Structure 1
Amino acid sequence: MKGDPEPTDPISASEIAGVADAVEALRSGAISPEEFRRRRVVMGIYPIREGPDRYLLRVRIPLGRVSPRHLRTLAETADRYATGGGVHLTTRQDVHIYGVEMRRIEGALSFLAEAGLTTREACGDTVRNIVVCPFAGVSPGEVFDVTPYAQALGARLLRHPLGQRLPRKFKIAFDGCRGADHAGLLFQDVGVRAIVSPDGRPGFQVNVAGGLGALPQAGFPLEPFTPVCRLWSTVEALLRIFDRMGDRTNRGRARLKFVAGRLGAEAFRRLLFDERETVESSDPAGGPTMPDPVVTEGADPRGHAGLPAWTGAFRQVQAGLVAFPLRIPLGDISSERLRSLAELTERTGAEARITTAQGILLTDMPEAEGESIAGALRGYGFPPPRAVSIVRCAGTDTCTVGATRVRGLAALLEEKIASMEAETGRQGPVAIRISGCPNGCGHHLVGEIGLRGVARKVNGRLAPHYMLHLGGGAREDGSALFGAPIGRIAARRVPEAVERLLRLLDAERINGEDVGETLARLGQDRFAASLIDLLEEPPERYGEEDFFDLGVSSPEVFPAVSAGKAP
């Protein structure tokens, strides 16, 4: 999978011309803003807060894997066509380029296309970029490499007629690791896990109808075992059902999970199996070509444990090669560091993979050069991962939907965690997930500590707050938990609240426990009690500064917008 991934469809000249025509039609008044929205979203173009003429481009990164050429192209696009300074990594392994002026959209899309990069169907009511476990193909603990199946499915679905005007977005993810879920399989419309059947056949367990947002639902297994030869027909049947039965009148209830909810799991399964038979009988040779899986032996990961030179580095299943995880603070990476990464991967033959936690995993590094590579990474300004990880959405710095400035909070938490780490030298793994609104782009519901931006009326005025959730995440047994809501905390006191929670977890955790187990053993009330003076504070405790959001140096109306549909 090194070099430029194949196939990475470029945006066609006609698609770029269509965007250019839509821009001119909007500027001349020939089409309405709503019609412009309809045309731009399928091309991965969203408005942002920098002004009425500024947009973000969401670039699809198939498999989350970026070649040296792609890294340089992303850096150059950000510098040449946008506000510059870098890009943002998303939880779907896409890349956001912020601040592109309307008149420069055509040029930016053309420049990306020359390198084989596309924004097509990164947004809108389409099949979104397929998420793939970042450890696929290199993990010593995987069942088999899911990469070829995700790649084949993604290539077939891009521009597929079924995926152009769905009732709502449609999300797919793949993972092959034993006893772990790095792709959020249960929170997708389709979550595909590599398994081996009781009679020894490699294939998949497919979970369907999951989703986050204001009404979260964990996906349920479609059947005990889906053979490789039926993967495409299963997905096509699901898309046909969704296209036919999804609610096109109420976007708030338009996802696949609501179709399954109306029918019930058993009726939904029967409908899907019937539709799959129809797909297979009408086009027996349909679907992309997929290879037979090669099952790995499932080596003990402890035998592949890391390198002293870099926290989190591990020996791959391929002898002599190691993988280095990089922490990308706030999910933001500068153009300079993108170019440095391109130079390093080109020189070493490594591959860069965007992770679902807004980091980067460098694979295929020669173990013999481990120490020198670690030194080079530090020289380029890349830090190793921390035990406490933060994932965030864009928040109101750029997003026109969010309620709070998530980036400002995440930056303060990064500082707080670094200070605690330097002070105590010990912290157990904790996943912090932050969203600026109920849409949940920061996956707050599946964070061990989850924070969702809300507005609370205090003394007749709206003040920025975060609803605290505890105990979310995927479990090793394949189940999922959504974080329980604990209460609202004023935005400026969230860093203090998180510090208390982390200290309590460190003090009370028994060796070998994960956060979920500690929470379950102690009970949520124990953690809520440690925050009693911060949760739902009385109005008399609020000062003028509590009505301004984090990162805002001058007064502004809060909230800037109310959370609503995606732009």
Structure 2
Amino acid sequence: MYVYQDYDQRLLEERVAQYRDQTRRYLAGQLSEDEFLVLRLQNGLYIQRYAPMLRISVPYGLLSSEQVRTLAKVVREYDKGFCHVSTRQNIQLNWPEVQDVPDILAELASVQMHAIQTSGNCIRNITTDEYAGVNPKEIEDPRPWCEIIRQWATFNPEFAYLPRKFKIAVNAVPDADPALIGVHDIGVKVIHNDAGETGFQVWAGGGLGRTPMTGQVIGEFVPWQHLLAYLEAILRVYNKYGNRDNKFKARIKILVKALGAEKYRELTEAEFAELKDGPMTLTEEEVARIQGCFTEPAYRDDVDSGVLDKALQENRAFNRWYHTNTRAHKRDGYRSVTLTLKKTGRIPGDVSDEQLEAIADLADRYSFGELRNTHQQNMVLSDVATDDLFELWEKLDALGMATPNLGLLTDIVACPGGDLCALANAKSVPVAEGIQRRFDDMDYVHDLGPLDINISGCMNACGHHHIGHIGILGVDKKGKEFYQITLGGRGDKLSRIGEKMGPSFESYEVTDVIEKIINVYVDKRLENEPFIDTYERIGMEPFKEHVYG
């Protein structure tokens, strides 16, 4: 992973000292609430329903075991003993005290972590596929390109006060979209031309929230040398023409739709012509320097395949977990393992200090001291030898992190909702738990096959409900919590926005509605047909008729 140079670390420590003084002045009454608002947001601090929330940046989801241990220490000493993995691969603390945040940031800085640009109208965390670098389907490792973009975007003065927040994702898997580039402000797809040269297909104008849209292709093939210049050109157009008067119409997706993709491309190309071959042009030396930070670990050549085969034959529970929660690896003899944070009765995406400590130990023992956060609020040990899998599974099971439901109905993605968030119209967590408890038969859940349920407590869509096969959105009706259902969203091969099913439901009805939807699927599906394929084949009407009939 990228290791900070002296100037990186110095910049981080200076930022902590600066914010410490700003907090001191605020607490002493020398800064007003409005003056401090801007400053705290620049350091990732929100004020939520009951307490502040601190969002910690995890670039492209990658963490070292040392960083995870520091997170464990922070949540134990400054929070309530747990933290939350967000749908953009970050970490969130839900109960820090305002006066403690400078100390928290200092602890994080000691292990090259921070909360810079995790809020505010700036370029946020750069994200990618959680299996990046080990995914056998990718054409090359996208993480170096993420890091190059991160360094360009961090403290970039031209984009410190954009019309609205801005999100960039990078994908290197052909014919799939595991990084969800289709619903980001800018999506960058790594591609190769006929000559085998690396370039990028660049999308713009995707996003969820109040007006969900999928992005449009702006750059068909941008040579790698000009990646940053092209991204800057897109952002300059947005900075010039984006709506600054109405925050609900300020995202780049609104501008791309208003201008049309062709006009936006024309404006971008005009800006790009001025920037091309300038100071932002990437060199082979600089790209090689960054790529050198993402070297292969010391994989073993003596992995004993017989150990795995024996365990799969002898232990049914392990066999199920292996086929559900592990993924193919580019290296023979290795698998990527997902630690599910979706055990029934726990808040989806939450992880305790004790679990973090244990995960760090497991990363050191089984995965070369690294792990990743996922868009689905889980965690991944990316490089596990297959003859270690059974032993790892036993330890994960003892930690409550071996639930074999990855990508299945109970692997629910949910924002914290009204239990914590000041913006939420309704609670998300009780709805998720109600569905998990209703579908507690793991044999049945496995028989249903792949099925994404995503829940958001408001239109900000932090739970990505628009791209769930089944999406659940909390809405307010005269002070009461209601839930709107969408069907047919997806975020795998190509991101697509789901379709509203009809009038919303009260909270006590939601679990019954989900069961009715599942019953239609079971009745109508072809042999081994996943839910989303059944929906695309039969459409909305059979579901609507059964639910509202």
Fold shared per TM-score above 0.5: yes
How far apart are residue 482 of structure 1 and its match? 3.3
Q: Hey, which of these two has a bigger chunk of helix by percent?
A: 2
Q: Which residue number in structure 2 is paired with residue 555 of structure 1?
A: none
Q: Which amino acid aligns with 1:469?
A: T
Alignment of structure 1 residues 255-266 onto 2, 5 Å: 255-266=251-262
Give yes or no for contact 1:89–1:96 (8 Å, CA) kept in 2: yes
Gap runs ≥5 in structure 2: 293-307, 313-317, 343-347
Q: Which residue number in structure 2 is paired with residue 156 of structure 1?
A: 152
Q: Which residue number in structure 1 is paired with residue 395 of structure 2?
A: 376
Q: Which residue number in structure 2 is paired with residue 415 of structure 1?
A: 437
Partners of 2:199 and 2:529 in 1: how far apart?
A: 32
Partners of 1:508 and 1:293 in 2: how far apart?
A: 49
Give yes or no for contact 1:464–1:491 (8 Å, CA) kept in 2: yes
Q: 2:352 aligns with which of 317, 334, 357?
A: 334
Return the TM-score normalized by structure 1.
0.85
Q: Which residue number in structure 2 is paired with residue 504 of structure 1?
A: 520
Matched residues, number: 512
Q: Which residue number in structure 2 is paired with residue 60 of structure 1?
A: 57
Q: Which residue number in structure 1 is paired with residue 474 of structure 2?
A: 453
Partners of 2:67 and 2:401 in 1: how far apart?
A: 19
The sequence identity of aligned pairs, in percent, is 29
Partners of 1:415 and 1:37 in 2: how far apart?
A: 40
**Which is worse superposed, 208-217 or 278-287?**
278-287
Q: Which amino acid aligns with 2:224?
A: V
Q: 1:215 aligns with which of 197, 200, 211?
A: 211
**Residues 5 and 320 of structure 1: is their aligned pair in 2 closer, same or farther, counting only changes over 3 Å?**
farther
Deviations 1:87-138 (A, max 9, x none): 1000111000111111211111111111111000011111100111111111
Partners of 2:28 and 2:367 in 1: how far apart?
A: 49
Question: SS of the counterpart of 2:331?
Answer: coil
**Which is worse superposed, 347-356 or 195-204?**
195-204
Question: SS of the counterpart of 1:12?
Answer: helix
Alignment of structure 1 residues 47-126 onto 2, 5 Å: 47-50=47-50, 54-82=51-79, 84-126=80-122
Q: Which amino acid aligns with 2:378?
A: G
Question: SS of the counterpart of 1:324?
Answer: strand
Alignment of structure 1 residues 182-221 onto 2, 5 Å: 182-221=178-217
Alignment of structure 1 residues 526-545 onto 2, 5 Å: 526-532=542-548
Alignment of structure 1 residues 401-550 onto 2, 5 Å: 401-417=423-439, 419-422=440-443, 426-457=447-478, 462-474=479-491, 476=493, 478=494, 480-532=496-548
Give yes or no for contact 2:199–2:223 (8 Å, CA) kept in 1: yes
Q: Which residue number in structure 1 is paired with residue 327 of structure 2?
A: 314
Q: Which amino acid aligns with 2:340?
A: R
Question: SS of the counterpart of 2:356?
Answer: helix
Question: SS of the counterpart of 2:227?
Answer: helix
Gap runs ≥5 in structure 1: 295-303, 534-567
**Residues 196 and 12 of structure 1: is their aligned pair in 2 closer, same or farther, counting only changes over 3 Å?**
closer
How far apart are residue 6 of structure 1 and its match? 4.8
**RMSD, matched Cα:** 2.5
Q: Which amino acid aligns with 1:465?
A: F
Q: Which amino acid aligns with 1:79?
A: R
**Residues 379 and 21 of structure 1: is their aligned pair in 2 closer, same or farther, counting only changes over 3 Å?**
same
Partners of 2:256 and 2:518 in 1: how far apart?
A: 38
Give yes or no for contact 1:5–1:65 (8 Å, CA) kept in 2: no
Q: Which residue number in structure 2 is paired with residue 544 of structure 1?
A: none
Partners of 2:495 and 2:461 in 1: how far apart?
A: 20
Deviations 1:528-548 (A, max 9, x none): 122116xxxxxxxxxxxxxxx
Partners of 1:505 and 1:103 in 2: how far apart?
A: 52
Q: 1:352 aligns with which of 353, 360, 371?
A: 371
Give yes or no for contact 1:203–1:293 (8 Å, CA) kept in 2: no
Q: Which residue number in structure 2 is paired with residue 551 of structure 1?
A: none
Q: Which residue number in structure 2 is paired with residue 233 of structure 1?
A: 229
How far apart are residue 385 of structure 1 and its match? 4.2
Question: SS of the counterpart of 2:426?
Answer: coil
Give yes or no for contact 2:152–2:228 (8 Å, CA) kept in 1: no
Give yes or no for the alignment of 1:390 onto 2:408.
no
Q: Which amino acid aligns with 1:119?
A: A
Partners of 1:469 and 1:96 in 2: how far apart?
A: 27
Q: Which amino acid aligns with 1:27?
A: L
Partners of 1:397 and 1:7 in 2: how far apart?
A: 40
Partners of 1:284 and 1:20 in 2: how far apart?
A: 33
How far apart are residue 512 of structure 1 and its match? 4.9
Give yes or no for contact 2:191–2:199 (8 Å, CA) kept in 1: yes
Give yes or no for contact 1:150–1:174 (8 Å, CA) kept in 2: yes
Q: Which amino acid aligns with 2:483?
A: Y
Give yes or no for contact 2:244–2:250 (8 Å, CA) kept in 1: yes
Q: Which residue number in structure 1 is paired with residue 124 of structure 2?
A: 128
Partners of 2:96 and 2:452 in 1: how far apart?
A: 32
Give yes or no for contact 1:450–1:483 (8 Å, CA) kept in 2: no
Give yes or no for contact 2:367–2:381 (8 Å, CA) kept in 1: no
